[in-house]
Amino acid sequence: MAKYGFLGMGIMGSAMAANLVHAGHDVTVWNRTAARCAPLVALGARQADTPREVAATCDVTFAMLSDPAAALAVLEGADGVLGGIGQGRGYVDFSTVDDATANTIASQIVANGARYLEAPVSGTKKPAEDGTLIILAAGDRGLYDEVAPALDKLGKKRLFLGEVGQGARMKLVVNLIMGSMLTALSEGLALGLKGGLDGAEILDVLDAGAMACPMFRAKGPMLLSGAYPTSFPLKHMQKDLRLALALSEKLDQNLALTAASNELFKRARIAGNGDKDIGAVFSVIA
């Protein structure tokens, strides 16, 4: 059985690595804050001191990092992945980055004789825990086929989208829609509440009609409660909206609604809600 490495023990990465361990895979983990590896070690994973050590000792290294800067730092930094990865090994990056960053990572991995697959995921904490993510892969088809059994322990659906960059683009499309839908829900609830409507009844009406969707079902009660336990940090959604807008500039595509949503998420982040759930955007609307 292949030896897998996993870099990044945040909300998503820790749950995904745990599913690989539960499935019986040999997994070595690393995190910048080493203490976050402890729960994985308790499950049976090994802990490495550096990304370089992970890449050098594992057949395939997975990464789930917070943003483009973190993804590049783990790759290029002192004791980074590039110092350990070599001929025939694989690198699969689940991080949500822009297409340019994905291509930069790919070129450096390939230059070291290894193979690269970008594989950003659609889904938050609960799907990560349940192994029901949607995996948006692109890059080396051989590596995709090789790690398919592991991907199937992490997600309920996986797609191979072609050349490097297409996975990143698909993920940004998904998240700009999610962010805009959440701001629309927030504004609708805010207006209804100010108009004397019952919030639970608004959600009931939405759930009974054509706009019924799992996100409204999950986030609606959260917005009404005013508590935002983190499933998907707001600061990461704002980062994804910003990256989508940067892509729109490159492709000459108007994204007026996404721009407005980004400003609301930015306001919520500046107000100190960055580490709360994306639902906290409601706090600057209501």
Judge whether 34 and 47 are in contact, CB under 8 Å.
yes
Q: How far is CA 158 from CA 97, 169, 195, 279, in A?
A: 18, 15, 43, 27
Q: Which long-range contacts (CB under 8 A, 24 or more apart) does 140-148 make?
A: 140/90, 140/115, 140/116, 142/115, 143/60, 143/90, 143/92, 143/115, 143/116, 143/117, 144/117, 146/2, 146/60, 146/90, 147/2, 147/60, 147/90, 147/92, 147/117
Give per-residue burial for 182-206: e unless 16+ CB within 10 Å, then b. Answer: bbebbebbeebeeeeeebeebbeeb
- Selecting among 125, 171, 239, 276, the annotated active-site residue is 171
3's tokens: 């030896």
DSSP 8-state code for residue 39:
H
145's tokens: 């086929």
Residue 171 appears among annotated catalytic residues: yes
d(CA 134, CA 69): 24
State which amino acid sits at residue 206.
L
Termini Cα distance of the chain = 52
State which amino acid sits at residue 153.
K
- Residues marked as catalytic: 171
